[in-house]
Amino acid sequence: MREWFGVDLSDLYLIRSGKKRIRGTTMEAGGLEIRDVIRGIYLAKKAPYGYIISIEGSFIVGKGATKHVVELDDEQFSR
């Protein structure tokens, strides 16, 4: 994800979960042994061509993303 979005995620502990999903949590929580509980926030899903970012992931990753970003103005968005 770091290479795909061009954003520094070093402050997050990334966790692989089922169905090729990536979750992120704090470093402190990432090291805990927690079973039967979903840890972290769903950030993205691995796809054949890269990653599909979640809504929550867009708030965390989107601010600093420099790659694979599309910016639309109001007119383009309303089409």
- Per-residue pLDDT tens digits of the chain, which is 79 residues long: 778 888 888 888 888 888 899 988 887 776 666 654 577 889 999 999 888 999 999 898 887 888 888 888 999 988 8
pLDDT given for residue 69 in this prediction: 83
> Which residues fall within 8 angstroms of residue 9, CB to CB, at 6 or more apart?
1, 2, 24, 61
pLDDT given for residue 10 in this prediction: 84
The DSSP-derived string for 8-76 is --TTEEEEEETTTEEEEEEHHHHTS---SS--SEEEEEEETTEEEE-HHHHHHHTTT--SS-----HHH
pLDDT given for residue 34 in this prediction: 65
- How far does Cα 52 stand from its chain's mean position? 8
pLDDT given for residue 37 in this prediction: 57
